[in-house]
Amino acid sequence: MKVKIRKGDTVEVISGRLEDKGKRGEVINVFLDDRRVVVQGVNIRTKHQKQVQTQAGRNMNPGRIQFEGPIDISNVMLVCPKCGEPTRVGVSRDDEGAHRVCKNCEATIE
């Protein structure tokens, strides 16, 4: 399925957990099948890691590991690089192909 948010875009969380609402971050990963995105600094999860010996003979240290969990793509809005505000995204087609366009200021988003 086609989505208008890509890896490397800056997005703002518009709904979800109270401590995450209003936060801005860069998209680290996009899961198209699940329609979920991983945003840097948002939805921090803690995993308790056991000590594991790898095949190379090294040990992974035990302890608590913090990482960003995925959130639904409908809970984030793309931030326009020109006007700096969360915006809806449109598609403009021309001879060169399709481009994403900011609905507020009508700037092309690369």
pLDDT band at 79 (very low <50, low <70, confident <90, very high): very high
Whether 1 has a pLDDT exceeding 80, the answer reads: no
Question: What is the value of pTM for the model shown?
Answer: 0.83
Average pLDDT score over residue span 86-107: 92
pLDDT digits (tens, 9 = 90+) for 18-76: 999 999 999 999 999 999 999 999 999 999 999 888 788 888 889 999 999 999 999 99
DSSP string, 7-60: TT-EEEE-SSSTTTTT-EEEEEEEETTTTEEEETTSSEEEEEEPPEE-TTS-EE
